[in-house]
Structure 1
Amino acid sequence: DFFKDATFGVPAGEAEHSYSPRNDVTIQRDRGFGVPHIYGDGRPGAMFGAGYIGAEDRLFLMDVLRHVGRAELSSFIGGSQGNRDMDREQWRIAPYTDADLQKQFDQLDDLYGAAGAVVQEDVTNYVAGINKYICEATPANPGCATRGISPAPTAGSRNGNTPAQKLPGAYAAIVPNGDPGIEPELFEVTDVIATASLVGGIFGKGGGRELDAARLLEKALAKFGGPGGNAVFDDFRRAEDPEAPVTSTGNFPYRVPNASPAADSNGLPDAGSTDESEVVARRGPAGRRGGILDGLTDIQGASNALLVSGAESESGTPIAVFGPQTGYFSPQILMELDIHAPAVGGKPGIDARGASFPGVNLYVQLGRGRDYAWSATSAGQDTVDTFALDLCNPGGAPVTDLAAAQGYMYRNVCEPFEELRRTNQWVPNVADMSPPGTETLLTKRTKLGLELARARIGGQGQTPGTPVVYVQLRSTYLHEVDSALGFVDFNAPEQMETSQEFQQAAARIGFTFNWFYINDDDIAYFNSGNNPVRPAGTDPDFPVRACPTAATDRCKYEWEGWNPANFTATYTPFGEHPQQVNKSYFTSWNNKQAAGFSAADDNFSYGSVHRSEPLDDGIQARLAGGEKMTVPELVDAMEDAATVDLRGNKVLPVLLRVLGDETDPAVRDAITKLQAWQRDGAHRRDKDNNGVYEHSEAIKIMDAWWPKLVEQMFKPTLDPALYDGLVDMIEIDNPPHTRQGSAYIAGWYSYVEKDLRALLGEPVAGAFSRRYCGGGDRATCEADLRGKLQAAIAEPRATTYADPQCDTSDNAALDDQVCFDAIEYTAVGAVDQPLQRWQNRPTFQQT
């Protein structure tokens, strides 16, 4: 009764709807939840059915996502600031012309042979299913007749038989491109590629902040000088902290920084010379605040997994609880489907049920097969690099103005920039009353990536440095759809019979994910991603000067095997990816994958404290003394971690050890409350359902104390510029107040804990180069912490939990802490949801 049944098919008598939008597929909907169960005569029918039910359940959201993927959200839905910000970000990281998107589709069989051809046919049939539904919903659409698509309604389908019943009401509120024409437009295969580029760009990459790291190092060197500045940078970088919790017990070296990088690979900018390239070429008028997909790009790498081997389970067979954290939307940005087709004509069969993203839901992306299940967590290892290329002018004129330079040197040729433009236009509509306007986006593409900034490098004294353009290269750029090959295997029972076959399937996915698998015998793990092989002599934490010589065959420091014609490279081989089978248990909550697998340059959080530790604690406590684990106990371990405040759970004990005995009554009372909270697990939860958190006063003290104590511990030693730069790289806290559910993934938790343990003289592996709190003096540190604790005690709750949203009539009755933490749903359409009590757990979950 506590778990939703996810078996294949619909029990006899439980089908509420049964219908066939094409003669090679039958769809049934169960009475309990309306889950679509798709039965194709072969792959074509199953794919057609997946497209049809995708449109049936999520048409408007699919339309939104394809427009975001093309950086056209503002044209589609309105010119609010949030919509335009999303367009700008997408055009910065994944600017594609229609020809680019079509090329991704067309080259699949050229790159991958028969396997690529299977994906091409799948996508074609999937799009046909979407368009069948659209034509039923908009029979006057001229494209339907042009393509020979019948607008006749599918008898017995879920949403009724009339166009008014089938077309989402949200379309009445928008005027795409200022043209009140028939919406939605029919889908193309390129729309699937555009949606894949969006999903992969958010959840499946890591790195790309080398230029920010360079500026941070510049500040550290200015404050502490050469060796000292480098050491301080490394203190906070935490690229390879020996105390970091890991998923795999093996050692898998990747992107290991070179102790002595080659001088000619140095792409660090001269101080003060960097000018970031603006993606907005022509700015439109100010729009209203917010956007239809607010929060989507704010989702940091998330999702968790807990798997216990058969040797440690009470049943003797492996058990698991796992799922993705993808935020909260209405309707949800994940959808459920159950899809089946036999293997026909040498093409793999399909037997899978689970969750997928609308617009790319032709395969189950996270789910189960006949006798196995799989899931993923975001990994975020480094697959994005920043290169410096010398600026030039194709006509031969010297570069005197960096901004005016029209070309870049690549393999000893001055190449012109390729300009990628997108112009959006919008008018006020019911959904978005922003004033009418247009905006043009511009990204310049090179043969080694997308323009990010311009600067000078290698300057000496009064001699100006060489003018360069910084470009950013992502290993999955122009290849997002290639990862479909791995999902084809995940959905094919004959490809997933063993843990080794699972790992081989996961290896075909270019996006950066930690994949987990369970069957009757094994639990298994594999880290996927197109990890580029970098030349020796480079430091992957910083920009690299790709072409320091006049070589014409290849640039000295570009990725090994780089082919600018098709944007492919040499990637690390299967055996170098973190992986393991039948460890006693696996946990992952976006923590470090394995020893040696260095954190990406944008990730400063792999330190001694990570939110994955409460998952480990829950499992270890139940396995202590030789005990075995059950599924309910594993669920309990996940649920217990879902309300833990990581600061109170892992950092508070060392804070209290530094404070020691206390004579001040107010401070002593606060410490007593904090100790009681920590002993009870440091939860933020209302266990007795009285509307107030247990240990509410202790939680308030910690919420007010944390930002004060972090700043006092580090800012005096670092100085304001360096401290602020570090805060830009990793915020001091990742609290529930983000309203996305996911919390505590990154913050200064390890910095505080590690520094204070060293100050106390406790053993510290990978210790900092210096002690920061109190300038290294324990008495001063203790006094600083006490002073900030007193300030936190005195801070009014109204200040700590100030939030206008909690003052509205809908939320005024909620307790201030409960409201401040609560999850907020983003409405993608006409239906909104009330705030939901905070929990830090997957959006969709399997047991």
Structure 2
Amino acid sequence: MRRRTGRLTAATAVAVFALGAGLAAPAPHSAAAAPPDRVNHEAAPADHCRGQCADILPPGQNGNATLVQILAHQLFGTRPAHSSDQLARYESLTGGYSGLTDAALTEFFNDASFGVPEDQVESVTRPRNDVTITRDKKTGVPHIKGDTRYGTAFGAGYAAAQDRLWMMDLFRHIGRGSLTSFAGGALANQAMEQQFWPQAPYTEADYRSQIERIRQTEGARGELAMADAQAYVDGVNAYRKAAKDGRYFPGEYVLTGHVDAITNIGEIKPFSLTDLIAIASVVGGQFGGGGGGEVQAALSLLAAQQKYGVVEGTRVWESFRQREDPEAVLTVHDGTRFPYATRPENPRGGALPDPGSVVPEQLVYDRTGSAGTGAKSPVRAPELLRPAQGIYDDGVLPPGALDPRRGMSNALLVSGAHTASGHPIAVFGPQTGYFAPQLLMLQELQGPGISARGVSFAGVGMYVQMGRGPDYAWSATSAAQDITDTYAVELCAPDGGVPDKQTADHYLHRGRCTPMEKLERRNAWKPTVADSTAKGSYRMQVWRTEYGMVTHRATIDGAPVAYTSLRSTYRHEADSIIGFQLLNDPSYVTDAASFQQAAHHIDYAFNWFYADSRTAGYFNSGMNPVRAEGVDPALPVRAEEAYEWRDFDPVHNTAAYTPFAEHPQSAGQDYYISWNNRQAEGYAAAGFGFGSVHRGDLLDDRVAALVARGGVTRASLTRAMAEAGLTDLRGEQLLPELLAVLRSQPVTDPRLDAVVRQLESWRTAGAQRKETTQGSRRYAHADAVRTMDAWWPLLIEEQFKPGLGEELYGAFTANLAVDESPAARHGAAGAHGGSAFQYGWWGFADKDLRQVLGERVEGPLARTYCGGGSLTACRDALLTTLGQAAATPATEVYPGDDDCAAGDQWCSDALVHRPLGGITHPAAHWQNRPTYQQVVEFPSHR
């Protein structure tokens, strides 16, 4: 582990100035607290959970810290109240789940009842006379009660700013592509704005258009939503001004040069409705998108056709694409079909590029200073502030930390017919990564037309987005169905000449040579106390067409084209506000059917789950465009009117969408699981990797077994979740087949036989990545875990590469990475993120090994690859790679980074809350689990 050296001297100097300037203001939560004798403890609203609702969100509610608090943390290790008080409780489930009982759930989760008991009130704030914000002693969560609708939303904004003002500022700048100008030119900051801005490179007019469209098209609900949003913004700005004037604003504003520590001169810019749209575009793009990647899919198809010929190559490609694998785990498993995005019998309008002609579109221009050094991002996971450093040199987030391909969330629900109480039980939540503070924040909202407790993304929290109402609870997982398509627009020259593939800025649109729209973002930065990155600047540029943004250029039959990406939710990130409004309204949501209708108003691609005292239910939301007949959604299509989305209006990016009845949905099924797996029969997977082995199997097998036994309780369902969250998918699902191949003949090499025995012992014990005893920071079966981590990428390459050939194997691995174990780091920058085993070659390996073993395989691969189909040759390949893996030292399997020494297996997996500000937290035991999680069982209903 590299020792961190930093600008402690500069930080100490700032601390002296800050103390001298009187910046040791009271913590934001207590700044406007009323004396206890003035607190108006009104009766809590109707709460049908009766103490049987619980939740958890680490590391803590409080995400703001003054400059003095940041410096005290760096110098002395102290943390502001409620900034880290939930992490130990969250982590402790890894060692405490096995003996869990319903009575013991409160040791690992917090009571999620409405209201705050009188003896648990920590502070009361009244930012207006029509709203009260009460925080509890245990967690510091804001319980917001408004006498008016405006006051309720105003209070939500005020409380959000109390808890997340700096983070909200970061994310509005990420959405607008101006993070480096705001927080410094670190390479990771550049990566963040380059990742998100091209997905939604909006102008101010674009933002305002979204707002006006909601008002014009959604009637009274739209007007109410925009009024709530404006009240929320007003609340944010009220706290912003009070904190600035009172000098208890987040200290990061001083460290990044926005406010002077001595004079208080400087500005924390006001928030606006358009800022909310910018934040929503980041959240929606990260967690609610789906599809895309058709250019890379086309390249792998071409590689397959080049190796095997068109017919056989297409068959091989389809067997790896696995759009509707009959062995895939499904959320709706009662046989109901919901056909969507399936492969047409006679595809038309395809736009495969000429081999070797595809070039990614350039994004960054005019680099100067530190932006023009050509230096690569560091391998370690960078973050904003580090202990004893006081600078932001590494950027606010590691590159790829908000990778849209990582869905992460999960859900387990059991219907009342199979529970001990006769009422449905749900254990569910979103996995949004581990950050400090969290991207989500907890709140309770009680006001006219609103009654809910749960989480919202900071900056768009005028409603609870996942949580509970008076007698129902709901949550979501990312669905990622195909709502994004790639079009090939034919390039043209306005003078009628021959267009240049790389420089042409006109394209044919419905027969006319039409100019592309150039969108630019110019960013410049200079060193500050917090960011020593040298002065620099650069320009981002994207070309926008009526078919979306240009992502690649190529030729088709020799003619130059540009490939564009068109997402149905583009220009509509804010529309989903109506669905969230309805979910918070108990007069609208009265049962599973009305919940499904509310979720249908959410345009993002999500799986929504519901539980009350009578019914468990499910609905898949999203703006699923109706494609022209014969169009293959998995591959690029020609940008011609005949192949456009049905009723496509390019001005507003609207089209015909599949109706409510065609969305996967269910109520009363025996149980539901979701871990970002396929939804239902007929609902084609939007990408590679949804085959016979998926991490959803870890949940499905356990919940199915519970249901078969009957008498499911909150504790037993939580145990199933926790056990799955510590299990190595490869060890549970693939190792039995690998061992069957290895043991098909005696292993005569005693060293290899000992390794095989270690793996057998680990598999028998449950194939978990779990400490020997809680707090030991050493895994049981550590050698077997290390062997599997080293072996998997070696065995996959040896299993498939000889048969596929180097080019096709490379193309397929570009579609789908071979591994996503906790130690695989999801690419060099994604370490310590928690979520694992979503994407990998598990299903490919499973089918191929079973084919070698002569077992029955539904939807087999087109060919058998391991050992060329020979069991003996396959065994030899596995033994060779196993020997290589066993000989690989731990220091190579688990390379060091800024958080871990090389070879530290436990630490390599561990959860690290990536700082978005000046407060850091200790590493925690790895668990593949939602960040925010609810455990609910309602005993009664209205």
Per the TM superposition, whether the score is higher than 0.5 is yes
Q: Secondary structure at the match of 2:286?
A: helix
Distance 1:43 1:835 in 2: 41
Aligned match of 2:710 in 617, 623, 627? 627
Distance 2:259 2:277 in 1: 22
Q: Secondary structure at the match of 2:210?
A: helix
Q: Secondary structure at the match of 2:542?
A: strand
Of 225-234 and 317-326, deviating more is 225-234
Aligned match of 1:639 in 717, 722, 735? 722
Distance 1:211 1:802 in 2: 33
Q: Secondary structure at the match of 1:517?
A: strand
**Offset of 1:52 from its aligned partner?**
0.4
Aligned partner letter, 1:44: Y
Contact 1:247 1:591 in 2 (8 A): yes
Distance change (3 Å), C-alpha of 1:80 and 1:178: farther
Gap runs ≥5 in structure 1: 140-162, 343-348, 460-464, 548-554
Aligned match of 1:412 in 505, 508, 511? 511
Within 5 Å, give how 1:242-281 maps onto structure 2: 242-249=326-333, 250-262=336-348, 265-281=349-365
Q: Which residue of 2 aligns with 1:174?
A: 256
Aligned match of 1:704 in 790, 809, 812? 790
Q: Secondary structure at the match of 2:238?
A: helix
**Offset of 1:108 from its aligned partner?**
0.7
Q: Secondary structure at the match of 1:713?
A: helix
Correspondence 1:831 to 2:914? no
Contact 1:204 1:513 in 2 (8 A): yes
Distance 1:622 1:213 in 2: 39
Within 5 Å, give how 1:415-426 maps onto structure 2: 415-426=514-525
Contact 2:490 2:562 in 1 (8 A): yes
Distance 2:127 2:345 in 1: 62
**Offset of 1:517 from its aligned partner?**
0.2
Q: Which residue of 1 aligns with 2:175?
A: 69
Aligned match of 2:465 in 361, 365, 368? 365
Within 5 Å, give how 1:376-455 maps onto structure 2: 376-394=476-494, 396-455=495-554
Distance 1:505 1:283 in 2: 47
Correspondence 1:138 to 2:244? yes
Within 5 Å, give how 1:193-212 maps onto structure 2: 193-212=277-296
Q: Secondary structure at the match of 1:804?
A: coil
**Offset of 1:178 from its aligned partner?**
13
Aligned partner letter, 1:653: P
Aligned partner letter, 1:269: P
Aligned partner letter, 1:191: D
Distance change (3 Å), C-alpha of 1:731 and 1:516: same
Deviations 1:32-85 (A, max 9, x none): 111111111122111100110010111000100111011111111000111111
Q: Which residue of 2 aligns with 1:556?
A: 642
Q: Secondary structure at the match of 1:440?
A: strand
**Offset of 1:197 from its aligned partner?**
0.3
Aligned match of 1:40 in 146, 156, 159? 146
**Offset of 1:164 from its aligned partner?**
2.0
Distance change (3 Å), C-alpha of 1:296 and 1:804: closer
Aligned match of 1:51 in 157, 164, 174? 157
Distance change (3 Å), C-alpha of 1:807 and 1:620: closer
Within 5 Å, give how 1:194-593 maps onto structure 2: 194-249=278-333, 250-262=336-348, 265-286=349-370, 289=378, 290=382, 291-294=395-398, 295-298=400-403, 300-342=406-448, 349-394=449-494, 396-457=495-556, 459=557, 465-547=558-640, 555-593=641-679
Distance 1:270 1:581 in 2: 48
Distance 1:178 1:596 in 2: 60
Aligned match of 1:758 in 851, 854, 871? 851
Distance change (3 Å), C-alpha of 1:42 and 1:177: closer
Of 473-482 and 97-106, deviating more is 97-106
Deviations 1:730-770 (A, max 9, x none): 11110113311000001011111110101111010001111
Q: Which residue of 2 aligns with 1:81?
A: 187
Contact 2:456 2:463 in 1 (8 A): yes
Deviations 1:242-282 (A, max 9, x none): 000000022111011112212xx121111122222111132
Q: Which residue of 1 aligns with 2:68?
A: none
Of 818-827 and 685-694, deviating more is 685-694
Q: Secondary structure at the match of 2:643?
A: coil
Deviations 1:416-438 (A, max 9, x none): 11111111111112322111111
**Offset of 1:286 from its aligned partner?**
3.5
Contact 2:417 2:423 in 1 (8 A): yes
**Offset of 1:692 from its aligned partner?**
1.5
Deviations 1:439-497 (A, max 9, x none): 1111111112111122211x2xxxxx222221110000010000011000110001111
Distance 1:511 1:198 in 2: 12
Distance change (3 Å), C-alpha of 1:542 and 1:284: farther
Contact 2:576 2:602 in 1 (8 A): yes
Q: Which residue of 2 aligns with 1:149?
A: none
Q: TM-score, normalised by structure 2?
A: 0.82
Distance 1:569 1:284 in 2: 42
**Offset of 1:687 from its aligned partner?**
4.3
Distance 1:736 1:825 in 2: 15
Distance 1:449 1:66 in 2: 22
Contact 1:75 1:176 in 2 (8 A): no
Distance 2:883 2:530 in 1: 48
Q: Which residue of 1 aligns with 2:235?
A: 129
Contact 1:177 1:427 in 2 (8 A): no
Aligned-residue CA RMSD in angstroms? 1.7
Q: Secondary structure at the match of 2:617?
A: strand
Q: Secondary structure at the match of 1:728?
A: helix
Contact 2:237 2:271 in 1 (8 A): yes
Q: Which residue of 2 aligns with 1:192?
A: 276
Distance 2:309 2:832 in 1: 41
Aligned partner letter, 1:789: L
Contact 1:241 1:608 in 2 (8 A): yes
**Offset of 1:296 from its aligned partner?**
3.4
Deviations 1:175-212 (A, max 9, x none): 36999962320001100000000000000011111111
Work out the percentage of aligned pairs sharing the same amino acid: 46
Aligned partner letter, 2:668: N
Q: Which residue of 2 aligns with 1:681?
A: 766
Deviations 1:673-705 (A, max 9, x none): 111111111000014233311111111111111
Contact 1:386 1:473 in 2 (8 A): yes
Aligned partner letter, 1:198: V
Distance 1:411 1:357 in 2: 40
Q: Secondary structure at the match of 1:456?
A: strand
Distance 1:178 1:251 in 2: 61
Q: Secondary structure at the match of 1:587?
A: strand
**Offset of 1:298 from its aligned partner?**
2.7
Aligned partner letter, 1:676: S
Aligned partner letter, 2:306: A
Deviations 1:143-165 (A, max 9, x none): xxxxxxxxxxxxxxxxxxxx222
Contact 1:178 1:425 in 2 (8 A): no
Q: Which residue of 2 aligns with 1:104?
A: 210
Within 5 Å, give how 1:637-676 maps onto structure 2: 637-660=720-743, 661-676=746-761
Distance change (3 Å), C-alpha of 1:114 and 1:806: closer
